[in-house]
Structure 1
Amino acid sequence: MKEKTDTPAGTPQLPFKISVLIFIRDGNGKFLMIRRRKAPNKNCWSPVGGKLETASGESPFECACREAFEETGLRLVASDLHLFGMVSERSYEGSGHWLMFLFDCLKPIEALPPEIDEGQFGFFSREEIDSAAIPPSDRTLVWPVYDSHRRSFLAYRAQCGNGDAARVEEESMLAPNFLPAENGKN
């Protein structure tokens, strides 16, 4: 007998894809973003990231280090990253489900990376991101989680389908951790 779930009726029965997003800044605190050439998020600016290689047993931290190097040339180790969020998005862009691990990169990048097959890079202040062409779920979910929880941890789930506003439910939240203050601020 199948257990009852809280999955909304009409949600496509698809496997979850696992991915990472890495919030990388330069020495001036500007965020490195990539304007994606491919789906998902085609023609939108997004943090660096990519899909986890599940067949090889890659962990989210290993994936973040690999993706940062492949896309930007920035060499990271796990201690350069702070996992601040985990997001479960159902029916994203109507074609799949995503489980995303959100990382704040503690190591700054020194220069703008060259353009790659996935897209072109740019640096943005946090204020510029608010008016940039970013995915709707990044605007309503991902960046607000970064703003309020980058020094702690939050897990949430979102139902994204049909172009409607995502329904979000908080799963768990932890208090701020031991990370050093940024510029004297917590």
Structure 2
Amino acid sequence: MTSSPATAPLSYKIAVLVFLENHAGEHLLLLRAKPPNLGIWSPIGGKLETAIGESPFECAVRETFEETGHRVTAADFHLFAMIAEKAYEGHSHWLMFLFRCTVPLAALPPTIDEGKFGFFSRAAIDVLPIPETDRNALWPIYDQYRDRFVALKADCAPGQPIVVEIEQITPAPR
């Protein structure tokens, strides 16, 4: 028995996003030249190399160097969030690990195959073309939890409002 495309299970992808700042506190974003998020701004990141057992921290280190040339170690990252996104754009599920790099980036990286870079103030990001989940979930999560840790889940089914639920906050709110 075969499944029709409408009822076929969605794949599950595991990835990291890295939130980098320069010395002025501006955030590095990449204007994506490839899907997903083609033509819109987002933090750097990428998929874990699961075939080699890469950890989320190893992936953050690798992606940061590959995309920006910024040499950092796992100790230079703070994992501030994990979010499970169901049915992102109706194509797949994502388990995303969100990292804040504690070592500022000295200069704007050169353009790469993935896209071109820009530094933006936090306020400027609110008016940029960014993914809906970034606007409604990821940046508010960054604003509130960047120095802590939060686990979330989000239902991103197409045609429905994105619903984000907190599953755990560490340390627990007082």
Same fold (TM over 0.5): yes
SS at the partner of 1:151? coil
Q: Residues 47, 16 of structure 1: CA spacing in aligned structure 2 closer, same or farther, 3 A cutoff?
A: same
1:83 is aligned to: 79
Report deviation, 1:29.
0.3
Query: Is contact 1:33–1:47 with CA below 8 Å preserved after alignment?
Result: yes
Residue 135 of structure 2 aligns with an amino acid whose one-letter code is: R
Residue 29 of structure 1 aligns with an amino acid whose one-letter code is: G
Cα deviation, 1:2-21, whole Å, max 9, x if unaligned, reads xxxxxxxx886223100000
1:120 is aligned to: 116
Residue 14 of structure 2 aligns with an amino acid whose one-letter code is: I
Residue 175 of structure 1 aligns with an amino acid whose one-letter code is: P
- Find the aligned partners of 1:12 and 1:162 in 2 and give their Cα distance: 16
SS at the partner of 2:147? coil
Query: Is contact 1:50–1:67 with CA below 8 Å preserved after alignment?
Result: yes
TM-score by length of structure 2 reads 0.93
Residue 92 of structure 1 aligns with an amino acid whose one-letter code is: Y
Which of residues 158, 165, 171 in structure 2 aligns to 1:169?
165
Residue 131 of structure 1 aligns with an amino acid whose one-letter code is: V
TM-score by length of structure 1 reads 0.87
Q: Flag structure 2 segments of 5+ consecutive residues without an equivalent.
A: 1-5
What percentage of residue pairs aligned between the two structures are identical?
54
SS at the partner of 2:62? helix
Residue 156 of structure 1 aligns with an amino acid whose one-letter code is: L
CA-atom RMSD in angstroms: 1.3
Report deviation, 1:175.
2.1
- Find the aligned partners of 2:102 and 2:93 in 1 and give their Cα distance: 28
2:70 is aligned to: 74
Query: Is contact 1:33–1:46 with CA below 8 Å preserved after alignment?
Result: yes
Q: Flag structure 1 segments of 5+ consecutive residues without an equivalent.
A: 1-9, 177-186
SS at the partner of 2:94? strand
- Find the aligned partners of 2:32 and 2:169 in 1 and give their Cα distance: 30
Which of residues 147, 154, 170 in structure 2 aligns to 1:151?
147
1:39 is aligned to: 35
Residue 11 of structure 2 aligns with an amino acid whose one-letter code is: P
Q: Residues 11, 164 of structure 1: CA spacing in aligned structure 2 closer, same or farther, 3 A cutoff?
A: farther
Q: May I ask how many residue pairs the two structures share in their alignment?
A: 167
Structure 1 ranges of 4+ moved more than 4 A: none
Cα deviation, 1:12-69, whole Å, max 9, x if unaligned, reads 6223100000000000000000000111111110001001000000000000000000
Query: Is contact 1:26–1:108 with CA below 8 Å preserved after alignment?
Result: yes
- Find the aligned partners of 2:101 and 2:164 in 1 and give their Cα distance: 25
1:141 maps onto 2:134 in alignment: no
- Find the aligned partners of 1:50 and 1:168 in 2 and give their Cα distance: 22
